[in-house]
Structure 1
Amino acid sequence: MELQVRLRQIFFFSFFLLTVLEHSYSARILTISKPDRHDVAASARWLVSQNIWGVLSTLSIEHQGAPFGNVVSFSDGLPGKGNGIPFFYLTSLDPTTRNALKDARASFTVSESPIGTCKRDPMDPTCSKLTLTGKLLQLDEGSEEEEVAKKALFTKHPEMMDWPKGHDFRVFKLEIINIFLINWYGGAKSISVDEYLRSKSIDQSRFLFMT
């Protein structure tokens, strides 16, 4: 009798857990630990690979070139296989897309705070933050790069596949020119684009689910 009660409890707990994961828009696979703070290139790559949204800033054509920041979803690749280049799925109905098509200069910012590994104020230097500056470029429709980007985006954001076709969604990437990282006291860390792209930040043997 006691065994039956125990099994029933396990069943209901498992059902509850699966239900939560199934209906949670933010449930995703994350690495357990972040890189050593002294490995600044790996730290930057980790921030990009583990985040699913950030603030994309362009130069507004409607406000005389004033900076225009917009919260956007993104992906740099399949879980554990990111290449460090942020991909975006943007509609031409949004000012960000129109701005980029007029002037490609842009920056993209992510923080450690949404990942859940930083319990301090987001502005605290020990709570890592990264800004990538470069050019926001539309990928050629039907190209191999666009297909890779779509797979990366739709894997992390499956809802995108159901977004209205008539809203003219297009695939963009950020061509990185400059990297600004703060992950500890002492100011911004120096990272070249080459160092960033060559870095391997993901321990693919250690994963957990976070919501």
Structure 2
Amino acid sequence: MVNIIAVDDSALNGSSTGRIHFLLADFEFTGADALHNSRMTFFFSEEQSNSCNKRGVNPMEPACPRVMISGRVKKLDTTSPEYEDNMEAFNNRHKHFKIWVQAHHFYLNELEIENIFIVAYQGGPRTIDAEDYYNAQL
């Protein structure tokens, strides 16, 4: 199943946490699919910011960097102390979702990252170990 999903990786102060949060609802096909198979892959391309196009680079070329991050969907515990902070950080980035969450019973999830593949320039995809990703110090 393929779908466009709003994501957020920020803390309340706007800094990146590296943890990919997103909303799902059981009635929506991506949420329903995740209930049966929790594996999910996210695809991010530099073209999302239109920068490849501005440089005259086709999004399919290796000169337009992209990353594929896969893992398992983890529904976050609504009673945990950090749930409200994570939800508020998500709403800071995606203000229109605040209404949808209550009206359509969306719930916050995190991708438990297992694989990271980066394609940037020549040489094929590079693999980043998930443990290295989570332990990175910025």
Which band: TM-score by shorter chain? 0.7 to 0.9
Letter in 2 for 1:77: S
Aligned partner of residue 69 in structure 1, secondary structure = coil
Partner residue of 1:93? 27
Aligned partner of residue 18 in structure 2, secondary structure = coil
Matched, 1:160 2:97: yes
- Per residue, is there more strand in 1 or in 2? 2
* Contact kept? 1:92, 1:167, Cα under 8 Å: no
Instruction: Please state how far the C-alpha of 1:122 moved relative to its aligned partner.
Output: 1.1
**Percent identity (aligned):** 29
Partner residue of 2:5? 72
Distance 1:164 1:175 in 2: 22
Q: TM-score, normalised by structure 2?
A: 0.87
Matched, 1:126 2:59: no
Aligned partner of residue 70 in structure 1, secondary structure = coil
Matched, 1:137 2:74: yes
Instruction: Please state how far the C-alpha of 1:128 moved relative to its aligned partner.
Output: 0.9
Distance 1:109 1:199 in 2: 21
Matches within 5 A, 1:193-204: 193-199=130-136
* Contact kept? 1:100, 1:137, Cα under 8 Å: no
Matches within 5 A, 1:6-17: none
Q: Look at both structures and tell me which one has the larger radius of gyration over its CA atoms.
A: 1
- Alpha-carbon deviations, 1:131-173, whole Å to 9, x = none? 1111011111121232232122111111111226231111111
Structure 1: state its 5+ residue gaps: 1-67, 202-211
The runs of at least 4 aligned residues of structure 1 exceeding 4 Å deviation read: none
Matched, 1:117 2:51: yes
